Structures are given as C-alpha cells and as structure tokens.
C-alpha cells in the first residue's frame, strides 16, 4: 500500500498519470449525468479556465497591494456584478472563495453592524428554504435563527415575517432562487418590511446571480430581487456556479461602504505588521480570481445570455414534462434553473424513483420536508434532457409496478431518516459517522467497525444512519464496477 507521502519523490508525468486515474469513480459530469455540484461545458473550455488559473496560481491576494493584477481582477469582477444587479456607483464588494464564504460574511457583517447599536443577542430571519450555509453561519457567529415558514405552495410566507422581527434582528434573508425548489423569494415584499423596520436585507443569489439577469434579458418575466429593490442592502453571487468559473470564486457586494466596513478585519498591533483583511481567508487564490475574470470576459453579456437560453430550454422541457406526469408534481414556483419534484401518488415512493434513476447512471440529489428529487439544470444538460425524462418515466412505472422497492435500497433509509422525529439523535449519529471520514489515512467510512449496538431508539437511529452510509459506499462500488465493465 502506498503511503501518503512517498519516501522518494516521483516524476511529474507519473504523478499526473496516477492523478488522472483518481477521477475514475467520480460522477459522470462530462456527459451531463450529474445534476448538482458541477458547471461544465466541454474540454476546450475547461482548458481555457485551466490556462487562466495556471497563469496566476502562485499569486496571492492576501495583501491587496502586493499583486496589483489580483486587485484589478477583483475590481473588474465586482464592477461587472454591480452593473448586472443594477447597482449605483456606491456599490462595493469583495471576491470570496465561494458561496458559503459570502453567506458567512454577510452574517458577520450584520451582526457587527447591530453591535454598534447595542445588540448583544443577535438574531436573523431565514426562510426555511435558506441554503444550509446560513445555518452554518448561525452556528459559527452565534446569531440565532428565526425560521420563516413556507406557505402551502412552498413559498416563503411573507405574512409571517413581521412577527419574527424584534430589536435583536440583525438581518433578513431572501434567496434568488432558493436551493431546494428554485423559487425566488418575495424580495420586494421582504424589502418593504425591512425598510419599515430599518433592518438590512441580504439576497442570496449564489445560484441566480449569474443566470437570472440574463434570463430576464432574454425576455423571461421574473420578480425583482436585485439593487432595484430599495431595501436590498447586499447580494451574494457565485462566479463558480452559473458564471462558469473554476471553483473558488464568489462575490459579496453591498449597497455602500458603510455596510462593507463591518465585514473587514484590521489588527494594527501584530508583530508581523499592520494587518487588514477583507474576507475570511488569509491567503487568497490568485488562480481562482484570474479564472473568474477570464470566464466573465469570455462570455460577456452575449455569452451568458446564450447559456441562459439553453438552460431555460432544458429547464422548461423538464418542468413541463414532469408536470404532465400524473404521479409527480413540481415543488414551489421555480423560474429556473433549479427544480425539485416529488410524488403525488401514494403508490410511488419518490426515493425509490431516485434509486431507479441511480441504477440508470444518473446522480440526483434527494430533498426532504417534503420528500423529493432535485435538479440543478445547466446548459450542458440540454442534450440529455430527453434521455433523463425517458428514464424518469420508466423509473416511475417500475416503482409503481413494484411497491416493495420503497422498502429497499436508499428509499427505505432516506424515508425513515427524513421522517423520524428525534432529529437530535440523527444529528449526533451523522456527526459521528462524518467525523470518521476525517481520520488521517482513512479514505472511506469504516463500516466494518460500526458503533457498538445500543438498545432502544438510539440504537435504531444509529443503525439507520449506518445503513445509509453503507448504501452510499455500495453505490460508489457499483458505479466503479459499471465503469470498469464498459
């Protein structure tokens, strides 16, 4: 067995050849089989991004005055975003490493802003559908979440917003669109309330930022969500999603510097020198900024409009076809590019449908509350939508004909996991399993050494999570076998 650090160094060509092999069991995103995580066009475009990244891969944006190149990339990226979002010249912002960093920063900013008016027990209002990054921010920065429920159509219920606000509220969040169902939150209605109560309103456009403006330019009717809405004080938008940049590039912009100042960190007494940092990271990856800039320059408005057009075609096709299937329904009011769908037929278990789709070589995320399947649709999916829909129809028919499938595969476990009421226990077991994956040298879950069986409900929950983990590993193995036999 190889050790992680070889005793003797190896030739670069040998290392690169082995490294390529690492991808063999990864999801097949190049053929559009993966419906999350990746924004891929083709190998030529990947090479272009790689070349841009490589040019600045050693450059460090830690100190914005050292690499003028990186500050220029940042300035131009932020200027582009400000214009896309109809900001005034007062709009300012920072390039970050990803959507999560942008979301974390917004929470830190508004917590610290509220401190200046004496708020010591900060709270924020998040719709139930807010991305999980916001819950992470709550934990990291000690800002309590007040959850805004959904209405029966799975839209954030704005009528319930006023009563969730109090003198400790440091910010309100809306998403454009939210991740689970792809619905754009009612930002204008949020804005009215936020302005009346003088509370900052952040829009999470991590997904939508680089596609909604171009869908609108292409003629799609969308609700307003950007700086044209007067109460919106900041927006996060990821270049590494629908901007088709390399991973590691997002933006956070604010309506003006009075907000942004609270994001910044300055320490003037460090023996290492006076220190100022605009975001969470210390060293900031020059390659990611160069690739993000390159992507924006390459596509420009015309290119992003074209990508948006192809994405919209794929989205509309999927949405219409799923709406026509009597067993399924589309969740919420998605305008694209995200779609969640569930089963409205008691004989069709949607997780079993997911299992069937997995078996046909698709990689699809699961949703809960309510149960469903998810699709993050990109231009790269347009050529495979028909295949996907054909397989989906077959999958539904198979599950309907074989109700016992609901009790097999991941379906049984997912179903139980999402419905079991003792969430604290589920949390603990997931945490235990997850932590195991991070043992030095440990590559996979150590399923041969499960926790000692415990009696009662706790034991049952633990066993259930273990089963789910087991299923994940088996799925990986099956995928690898399928690849090998091709």
Ligand X SMILES: Cc1ncc(COP(=O)(O)O)c(C=O)c1O
Q: Which spans of this chain sit near ligand X (rule: CB under 6 A)? A: 98-100, 103, 131, 133, 175, 179, 204, 206-207, 238, 250
| CA–CA distance, 122 with 143 (Å, rounded to integer) | 5
Shortest distance (Å) from residue 406 CB to ligand X:
28
Tokens of 204: 């999470």
Shortest distance (Å) from residue 382 CB to ligand X:
21
- In 246-361, DSSP assigns E strands to 250-254, 265-267, 275-277, 328-330, 338-343
Shortest distance (Å) from residue 204 CB to ligand X:
5
- For residue 173, the cross-strand partners are 202
Shortest distance (Å) from residue 37 CB to ligand X:
8
Q: Which CB atom, from 169 or from 250, has the smaller least distance to ligand X?
A: 250
Q: Which residue is nearest to ligand X (CB)?
A: 99
CA-wise closest residue to 415 among 358, 327, 354 = 354
Q: Which CB atom, from 307 or from 348, has the smaller least distance to ligand X?
A: 307
Q: Which CB atom, from 38 or from 165, has the smaller least distance to ligand X?
A: 38
CA-wise closest residue to 183 among 161, 157, 146, 164 = 157
Shortest distance (Å) from residue 208 CB to ligand X:
8
Q: Which CB atom, from 101 or from 327, has the smaller least distance to ligand X?
A: 101
CA-wise closest residue to 354 among 416, 430, 419, 409 = 409
Q: How would you list the strands of the sheet with 372-376, edge to edge? A: 328-330, 338-343, 372-376, 366-367
Q: Which CB atom, from 99 or from 200, has the smaller least distance to ligand X?
A: 99
Q: Return the axis-axis angle of helices 409-419 and 350-359, rounded to nearest 10°.
A: 140
**C-beta of residue 266 within 8 angstroms of C-beta of residue 329:** no
CA-wise closest residue to 211 among 177, 257, 170 = 177
In three-state form (DSSP H/G/I as H, E/B as E, the rest C), the secondary structure along 141-159 is HCCEEEEECECCCCCECHH
Q: Which CB atom, from 179 or from 362, has the smaller least distance to ligand X?
A: 179
**C-beta of residue 293 within 8 angstroms of C-beta of residue 77:** yes
| CA–CA distance, 77 with 297 (Å, rounded to integer) | 9
Q: Which CB atom, from 105 or from 464, has the smaller least distance to ligand X?
A: 105
Q: Which CB atom, from 131 or from 429, has the smaller least distance to ligand X?
A: 131
Shortest distance (Å) from residue 339 CB to ligand X:
13
Asked if the bond preceding 238 is cis, omega within 30° of 0, the reply is: no
Shortest distance (Å) from residue 291 CB to ligand X:
15
Tokens of 64: 């914005």
Q: Which CB atom, from 33 or from 374, has the smaller least distance to ligand X?
A: 374
DSSP annotation of 27: -
Residue pointed to by tokens 């029966």: 152
**C-beta of residue 281 within 8 angstroms of C-beta of residue 97:** yes
| CA–CA distance, 135 with 179 (Å, rounded to integer) | 14
> Quick count: other Cβ atoms within 10 Å of Cβ 304?
24
Shortest distance (Å) from residue 100 CB to ligand X:
3
Shortest distance (Å) from residue 369 CB to ligand X:
17
Shortest distance (Å) from residue 39 CB to ligand X:
11
CA-to-CA separations, 227 to 40, 187, 255, in angstroms, rounded: 29, 11, 7
**C-beta of residue 172 within 8 angstroms of C-beta of residue 194:** yes
Shortest distance (Å) from residue 179 CB to ligand X:
4
Q: Which CB atom, from 301 or from 365, has the smaller least distance to ligand X?
A: 365
Q: Which CB atom, from 161 or from 207, has the smaller least distance to ligand X?
A: 207
- In 59-122, DSSP assigns E strands to 92-96
């Amino acid at each position: 067995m190889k050790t992680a650090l070889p005793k003797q160094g190896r030739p670069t060509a040998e290392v690169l050849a082995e490294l390529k092999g690492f991808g063999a069991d990864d999801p097949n995103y190049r053929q559009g089989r993966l419906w999350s995580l990746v924004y891929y066009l083709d190998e030529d475009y990947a090479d272009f991004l790689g070349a841009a990244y490589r040019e600045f891969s050693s450059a460090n944006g830690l100190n914005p005055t050292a690499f003028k190149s990186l500050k220029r990339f940042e300035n131009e990226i932020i200027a582009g975003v400000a214009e896309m979002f109809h900001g005034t010249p007062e709009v300012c912002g920072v390039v970050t490493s990803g959507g999560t960093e942008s979301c974390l920063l917004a929470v830190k900013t508004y917590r610290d802003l509220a401190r200046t008016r004496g708020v010591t027990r900060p709270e924020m209002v998040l719709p139930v559908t807010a991305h999980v990054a916001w819950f992470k921010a709550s934990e990291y920065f000690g800002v309590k979440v007040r959850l805004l429920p959904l209405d029966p159509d799975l839209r954030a219920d704005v009528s319930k917003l006023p009563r969730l606000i109090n003198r400790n509220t440091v910010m309100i969040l809306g998403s454009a669109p939210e991740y689970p169902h792809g619905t754009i939150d009612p930002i204008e209605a949020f804005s009215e309330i936020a302005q009346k109560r003088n509370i900052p309103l952040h829009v999470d456009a991590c997904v939508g930022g680089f596609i909604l403006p171009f869908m609108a330019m292409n003629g799609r009717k969308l609700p307003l969500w950007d700086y044209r809405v007067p109460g919106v004080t900041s927006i996060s938008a990821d270049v590494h999603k629908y901007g088709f940049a390399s991973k590691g590039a997002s933006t956070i912009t604010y309506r003006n510097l009075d907000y942004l100042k609270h994001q910044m960190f300055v320490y003037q007494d460090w023996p290492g020198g006076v220190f100022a940092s605009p975001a969470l990271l210390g060293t900031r990856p020059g390659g990611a900024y160069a690739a993000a800039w390159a992507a924006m320059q390459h596509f420009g408005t015309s290119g992003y409009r074209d990508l948006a057009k192809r994405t919209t075609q794929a989205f509309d096709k999927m949405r219409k076809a799923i709406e026509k299937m009597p067993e399924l329904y589309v969740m919420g009011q998605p305008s694209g590019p995200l779609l969640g769908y569930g089963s409205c037929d008691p004989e069709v278990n949607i997780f079993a449908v997911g299992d069937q789709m997995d078996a046909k070589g698709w990689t699809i995320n699961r949703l809960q509350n309510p149960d469903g399947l998810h699709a993050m649709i990109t231009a790269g999916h347009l050529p495979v939508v028909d295949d996907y829909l054909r397989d989906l129809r077959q999958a539904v028919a198979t599950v309907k004909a074989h109700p016992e499938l609901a009790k097999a595969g991941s379906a049984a476990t997912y179903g139980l996991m999402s419905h079991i009421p003792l969430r604290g226990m589920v949390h603990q077991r997931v945490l235990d399993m997850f932590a195991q994956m991070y043992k030095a040298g440990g590559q996979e879950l150590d399923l041969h050494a499960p926790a000692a069986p415990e009696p009662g409900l706790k034991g049952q929950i633990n066993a259930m999570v273990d089963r789910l983990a087991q299923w994940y590993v088996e799925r990986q193995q099956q995928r690898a076998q399928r690849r090998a036999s091709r």
